[in-house]
Amino acid sequence: MEIVQYPHPALRWKSSDVKRIDASMRKTIEEMFELMYAAKGIGLAANQVALPLRLFIMNETGDSQEKDAEFVFINPEITSRKGSALGEEGCLSLPELYAEVRRPNEITVEAFDLDGQGFEITLDDLPARVIQHELDHLDGVLFIDRISESAEKELAPKLADFEIRFRNLQSSGDVPTDEEIVANLEAQVTSLTQG
């Protein structure tokens, strides 16, 4: 498992609901936490490790010792949004790239935890922003889709660099082609619906 970078097609994938939480899913989530901490992130969505599943993890402290701050959101849904706030965002799939994004400041989210228990939580400020950013990933939406036109212009050369780098990795065979990646995501979705 590894964190994929823009413009990997998994980042544009609209993910499927999780149907079953089993030992292999727990292992997957454990690995996602390890990757997130290693990359100094505070949130990571399944799309970012090329899994077409509606789940993400969060630890707003970014500290692997702070187990109480670890959250797993499975099949999450935002049920309420309040206020509006501008804040800087980055993404482990777009390293070193930052921009201001306007989002609701307070949200209520419903989800299932790793024990399959439903829960509801209302959060504001940073964790609310992380949740909205990660939930966007599950719909194939990136924070760069939500930035101002002027920020978009400013970031365009950097995004072009990401694009060139990714296409080079594909040309050298270090990364599968878009067609292969999409076929793999589709195969995973098929095995999910059959399982």
Q: Any idea which residues carry the catalytic annotation?
A: 134
Closer CB to Zn ion, 161 or 187, in the complex: 161
Beta carbon of residue 37, minimum distance to Zn ion (angstroms, whole number): 15
* Complex with Zn ion: residue 61 or 120, whichever CB lies closer: 61
CA distances from 9 to 87, 98, 173, 177, 186 (A): 26, 21, 16, 10, 12
Interface residues with Zn ion (CB under 5 A) are 91
Cβ burial 114-150 (10 Å sphere, 16+ → b, else e): beeeeeeeebeeebbbbbbbbbbbbebbbbbebbeee
Least distance in angstroms from the C-beta of 116 to Zn ion: 26
Residue 108 near residue 79 (C-beta atoms within 8 A): yes
Nearest CB to Zn ion, comparing residues 22 and 31: 31
CB of 89 to Zn ion, least distance (A): 8
In the bound state, the residue with its beta carbon closest to Zn ion is 91
